[in-house]
Amino acid sequence: MERGDNMFEKGEYIVYGSSGVCEVKDIGPMEMTGVQGEKLYYTLQQKYSSGGKIFTPVDNSKIVMRSIYSKGEAGELIETIPFIDELEIHDEKKREDFYKSSIRSCDFTEMIRLMKLIYHRKKKRLEAGKKMASLDERYLKMVEDGLYGELEISLGLSRDDVEQMVSERLEPRI
């Protein structure tokens, strides 16, 4: 999904790992005491968080960095939601590891799989008279923020509109 020359442009929106949608504010060497050389860095600003700036090397291969989906790609992906299987976890002790892995992938299909799993777990717990597990609640917020944030920009819609489009294609929500 990244450009052939491996460079994003200033002003472009990208997905940066679990930080979600970020705007590329600047590209250049770091101008900080103790940082020398001509290595290029992106200066990123999170779109949906009031956090500080993120500085990452242009050639960073440890964290997923990709262009956000085009409007056409986003529309096509939304239409695939009913056909995406729920994430399966067979070892409850590793549940959070699976959640983290899905979030870090920045992959639409993996995040929808996670969302479906958490919705299913939420439904079962509510039917049993229990509250939603805090781990599920925390990761559901992360996956929704990441997915909805990217789709808002790609489709030029409000979060509410994006949430409705996605939820209509998921199994019935609680």
The domain segmentation of the chain, as residue ranges, is 13-66, 69-169
Confidence at residue 35, expressed as pLDDT on a 0 to 100 scale? 59
Q: What are the pLDDT digits (tens) for 128-138?
A: 999 999 999 99
Which residue(s) pair with 108 in the sheet?
A: none
Read off the pLDDT band of 18 (50, 70, 90).
confident
CATH number of 69-169: 1.20.58.1290
CA distances from 57 to 6, 30, 38, 121 (A): 12, 9, 11, 39
Confidence at residue 1, expressed as pLDDT on a 0 to 100 scale? 37
Q: What are the pLDDT digits (tens) for 53-111?
A: 899 999 988 999 999 999 999 999 999 999 999 988 888 899 999 999 999 899 999 99
Neighbouring CB atoms inside 10 A of 58's CB total 14
Q: What are the pLDDT digits (tens) for 43-64?
A: 999 987 777 789 999 998 899 9
Confidence at residue 47, expressed as pLDDT on a 0 to 100 scale? 86
d(CA 80, CA 69) in angstroms, rounded, equals 14
Extended beta strands in 65-122, E state: 65-67
* pTM of the predicted structure, to 2 decimals: 0.82
